Structure 1
C-alpha cells in the first residue's frame, strides 16, 4: 500500500484541501494546495503507531520525518476536522494496510527514541518542589533570549496581550495589557508592586516607567532575570525596578500595595493553588489588590494535567490548568474579596497569531539559533494553542481581588476605573 492510499483511506477520498506527498513518490489530496504535508521517511510510521494521536504526529514532525509546507495553524485546523471523523474501524483498516507493506511494517516495528528536545522526566523529585519547578522553568524559558526576541517582539511579553482594536499591533496590545493590569491594581506613584513569575520584566518596567511605582519582579529563569536587569538599566529605571532570579516562595519582603501574577499559576500545580493565594495574600498590606492572569480549562471536568500530552512533554513540563471557578473559589477562600473577573481568550488567539507570524518571518534565523527541533516544537505548539483558544478548549482569565482591611472598605471605585 502506498502512503497516498493510506491518506485516502483516512479521508475516505474526500476533497480535503491538503496536498499529501510521500517519500515513495505517491501523491494524494488536492494538488497545488497552499497546505502540503510531506512524509519524508517510513520511520514516521513508528512514531504514529507507538504514540497514536497528537503526540505521535508531533514527534514525527519535530524529528523531521514529517514536513508541513504552508501555514501551520491552517494545517492543524484543517487536519483536525478531518481526523475527528475517523472511526476505530478506519484506524484498524489503515493499520492493516500498513502491516501489509514490508517496508512500513519494518518501520513500524522499529522503536525510535523520542526527539532529544523532549523534557526529561522529573525523576524522584516531588512535582512542584522548588528544585523540580526550577528544572521545568529552565527547560522552557532558558532556550535563547535572542530566539524569544524574534518570537515575542520588542515587548518581550510572553503572555496574552489585549488588543484595543482588531488591527492593533502586537506591541500596542502588550502595552494595553500591562496598562490594564496597572489600572485594575490602581497603581499610583510611590506604591510598591510585587510581580511573581515576571518573565523578562515587562510588567515591572511598565509599572515603574508609566506609574512611577517601585516594582520587584521574580523569575525562576536565570536568562530572563539577566535580560530584564540589563533592560531596566538601559531604560534608566534601576531606582524603581528590580528583577531577581528566585522562587516567588522565597520573597521575604511584605506590605506590598499590589501583587500581579501574569502567567505563573499554570506552573504551580492544583494542589498548591490554595497555598499560593494564601502566600500572596500575606505579601499585601490590608487594602492591597492582587491580579491573577492565567490560562485555564473551560471547566473542572477534565484532569488538570495530561502527563503524556505534547505540551507537557515538550513545552511546559508539569504544567497544570484549572477551571476558572476553582481559581476564583480558592482565591476567595484564601483572603481575597473578588472584585472583577473576565475571560479574554480571543485576545490570546490573536496574540498567538502574531507570535506565529514572527516565528515564520525569522524561521531561518530561529533554526540557526536554537536548532530545527526546538524551532519545530514552537511552530506546532503555538499554532495548536491558537486553535485551542479559538475553539474554547482553553481560556485566559483575569481575576482581581482585594485583601480587605478591618473596616471592610475595599477602596474600589463604584464602577470599574480601567475602561479598557
Structure 2
C-alpha cells in the first residue's frame, strides 16, 4: 500500500480504502459509538477553473478544439523621418521605422504625429497614399505650416485616427479581417474513489462517508486540472490504449507581458493598469491571478506611494471567489492568490485575464460513473469514477497579459 503523508491527512494511492488500511495508518480511528465530524478543508485553490465554470461552456464534438482568434488592427507606427514633397508645399513623405507598418494605414486616414519630430506638439496629417516608401501625407494643423524638428532626439509616433471623406465620396478603402485559426486539445481528467463494503458499514471515530471521499477526490482533481489549465503543454501521443491528449495552458496562449519590479515605485501600478486595459479594446473589469510574492508586491498597504496610486483595497465576492478589488482610472482589477503559481515555481508571476474572453470547451461533461465491482466479481467495494474532458482557450489573446516578477 502506497501512502503520501501531508500535514492534515494520509493519502492512500492505487488501492481501495479498507478497514485494514485505515487500521495500519491509525489504529484508533475505527471505534464503536463515537461520532466525530471529519474536518474538510476546501482551499480557494482553483480560481481559473472556478471562473471558467461560472460562464457557459461550449460543447466540443471532438477531443481537438479548433477555434479562431482575432485582435485589433494596429493603430500606430514609429516614424523614422518626415521629408517635404518636391513642388508641393504642405505635402510630406513619412518614412517608417518598420517599412511594412504602412499596411496599418489607408488613403483618407487622418493621423497624429507626436514625439521628437513633432517638436513637443501634436500635428495632424491627411493620408494621400500608403505604400512601401511610407505615407504620403498632407499637413492639416494646428499650425499654418509644419517643419520637422530633425535635431531633436527621441522616438516619434503616428497614431491612426478617423477617416476624412470628400463630399462626393461614396466608397472608402475596405477594412476587413480574417481570424487566425488556433487549436487545443481536451484532456481527459479522471479520479476514482473506492471504498470497501465492510468499511462502509463500520462505525468510525471520524464521520467519514463515501460521499466525503468523493468530495475530497473532486477537490484534488480540480486542483490538478487547474495546473494543466494554466501551465499545461499541448501535445498528443498514442499508446496501447489509444491516444493521450494533453491540454495547452493559457499561460502559453498569452502574447503580451509586463515586468513587475519587486519594489513598486510611484507610477509602476499605474503603468501596469495602463498596459492591461488599453490598446486592445478589452473589458474594463479583469482578474489578476498571481503567486504569493506577486500579490504581496501589489497589495501592500505599507508602501505609501503604492497606496496613493491604488486607493483603498477592498474585498468583494465574484464567481464564488473572495477577490481584492483595486480600482484605477483605466479599469477595475480583481486580485486573487493562486496556490498553483506558488507550487509551479511562479510565486513572483501572475496572469491578468479578461473573463469575457476566457472560453471553456467540454468534450465530456463532468460526470460520475458507478462501478459495480461486486457483480463483476472483482472486489467487495463501492467505486465511482469521476471524469471530465475539457480545455480552456483565450479567444482574444491581446486582452490578457502575463505578469513577470523581476527578482
- Do they superpose with TM above 0.5? no
More helix by share: 1
Normalising by structure 1, we get a TM-score of 0.23
- Kindly name which structure, 1 or 2, has the bigger radius of gyration based on alpha carbons: 2
Normalising by structure 2, we get a TM-score of 0.24
More strand by share: 2
